Chains A and B, each alone.
Chain A
Amino acid sequence: MIVPILSLTVLGVVLGLILGLAARYFKVEGNPLVDELEALLPGSQCGQCGYPGCTGAAQALADGTAPLTLCPPGGRAVVAALAAKLGVEVDLSGVQDAVPSIADVREELCIGCTRCYKVCPTDAILGAAKHIHAVFKEACTACGSCVDVCPTEAILLRQVPPTLQSWSWVKPGSQPLAANEGALAA
C-alpha cells in the first residue's frame, strides 16, 4: 500500500521540480506577440475597437479575446496582416472595408470652438479659436472622434466617391452579370 503511494508521490514531486526549473529557465517576459501585433495596427489610438488604444487592442488580440476584425479604420489590409502574423485563417469576405470617408466641416454651423481640433488623433483638423475649421483630406482617417465632440453637429463623415484611380473590378460572381449587361438596353 505504502509503496505505490510513495512512488507516485516521489514521481510527482520530481516531475514538478523539473517543470518548476524549466519554467524559470524558459520564462517569457511579457508577451512579445503584443508588440508585434501593435506594430501592425494603425496606431491612431482612436478607440473604435472598444479597447483603450492600440496597445489594449493588441493585448486583447494576443490573448485571443478579440476578433481579428476589430479594427474598423484598418480595413481588410490589417485583418490580413494580423491573420498572417497569428497564423490563423480568417474569412476576409465578411470584412468590408469601411466605405472610404472623411470628416467634413459644415461651415455654416462651425463656431470655431477648437474641440475637434484637440481630439483629432492624426492632426487632420486645421483651425484656431473663432475660426472655421477645415479638414486635411490626406490625414483624416474617418475615426469619428471629432463628430462626437462637436457641440453644433457641424462635422459629418462624408463618403469619398470612387475615382478612376481607386476603382477596381468586383470579384466575379459577387455581383450578377446582368447588372453590367442591362446598362446598354437602358
Chain B
Amino acid sequence: MSEYLLLLLGAALVNNVVLVKFLGLCPFMGVSKKMDGALGMGMATTFVLTLTTAATWLLEHWLLAPLGIQYLRILAFILVIAAVVQFTEMVIRKSSPALYQVLGIYLPLITTNCAVLGLAILNVQEKHAFVESLLYGFGSALGFTLVLLLFTGLRERLALAQMSDMLAGAPIGFITAGLLSLAFMGFAGLA
C-alpha cells in the first residue's frame, strides 16, 4: 500500500511532469492566465492522462507485446491518445460550452501534449504493472494540475503588478516558471 502512495506522491511532486521532467509546457504557459481555464485544463488533462495510461497499458500488453510489434508503439499510442482526446472534447462540449470555449485550441492540443505520450512510454520503460501505471498516470496528472494552478495564481498576481513593459506578460511568466521549477527540484531531497 505504502509503495503505491509513494508512487503517487513521487509522480506528483518529486518527478513533477512539468517542472522536473519539462513535459507539457505548452498548456502550462498557454492556459495559465485565468484560474477557471487552468482548473478546466487540469481536469481535462487528468481525465485524458488517466484514461490513456490505462488504454496504452492494455494496448502494449495485450496487442503489441504478444504480436511482437513494439516498434509500432508510438504510432499506436498516438492513435489511442487522439481518440481519447476526441472523446473528452465531445464530453466537454456537451457538458460545458463555456469551458469548451475557454480551453479553445488547447483542448485538441492535449493530443500533442508530450506529457501524455511521454507518460505512456515511461510506463512501458519502467515496466509498471496495470495498477501502478494507472497510479503513475493519475499522480502525474495531479502534479500537472497542481503546478498549473500554482502558476496561474502567480500569474494572476503578476498581472496586477507594475513592471517594465519589457518584462510584462510572457517574459516574467517564464522567469516565474523557472523559479517555480527550482523550488520543485527541492522535492528531490525527499526521495
Taking the complex as a whole, does A directly touch B, i.e. does some CB pair lie under 8 Å apart? yes
Of all chain A residues, the one with the shortest Cβ separation from B37 is A87
Q: Is B91 a contact of A19 with CB atoms below 8 Å?
A: no
CA–CA, A70 and B97, complex, Å: 21
Q: Is B90 a contact of A15 with CB atoms below 8 Å?
A: no
Of all chain B residues, the one with the shortest Cβ separation from A16 is B83
Query: Would you call A185 an interface residue if the criterion is a C-beta within 8 Å of the partner chain's C-beta atoms?
Result: no
Q: How far is the CB of A179 from chain B (nearest CB, A)?
A: 23
Q: How far is the CB of A6 from chain B (nearest CB, A)?
A: 9
CA–CA, A88 and B99, complex, Å: 10
Query: Would you call B69 an interface residue if the criterion is a C-beta within 8 Å of the partner chain's C-beta atoms?
Result: yes
Specify which of B36, B69, B90, B91 lies most central, judged by the most chain A CB atoms within 10 Å of its CB. B90
Please, which residues of chain B bring their CB within 8 A of the CB of A3? Answer: 67, 69
Q: Beyond A31-B97, A33-B98, A87-B98, is A11–B90 a contact (Cβ under 8 Å)?
A: no
Please, which residues of chain A bring their CB within 8 A of the CB of B59? Answer: 11
Q: Is B69 a contact of A19 with CB atoms below 8 Å?
A: no
Q: Beyond A7-B63, A11-B76, A87-B37, is A18–B87 a contact (Cβ under 8 Å)?
A: yes
Specify which of B75, B91, B94, B99 lies most central, judged by the most chain A CB atoms within 10 Å of its CB. B94
Q: How far is the CB of A7 from chain B (nearest CB, A)?
A: 6
CA–CA, A126 and B180, complex, Å: 65
Please, which residues of chain A bring their CB within 8 A of the CB of B79? Answer: 8, 11-12, 15
Please, which residues of chain B bring their CB within 8 A of the CB of A89? Answer: 33-34
Bitwise interface map of B from 65 to 98 toward A, beta carbon under 8 Å scored 1, else 0: 0010100100110011001001100110110011
The 7 closest A-B pairs by CB, nearest first: A87-B102, A15-B83, A26-B90, A26-B94, A33-B97, A4-B69, A86-B101
Q: Which residues of B contact A (CB under 8 A)?
A: 33-34, 36-37, 59, 63, 67, 69, 72, 75-76, 79-80, 83, 86-87, 90-91, 93-94, 97-99, 101-102, 104
Q: Which residues of A contact B (CB under 8 A)?
A: 3-4, 7-8, 11-12, 15, 18-19, 22-23, 26-28, 31-33, 36, 62, 64, 85-89
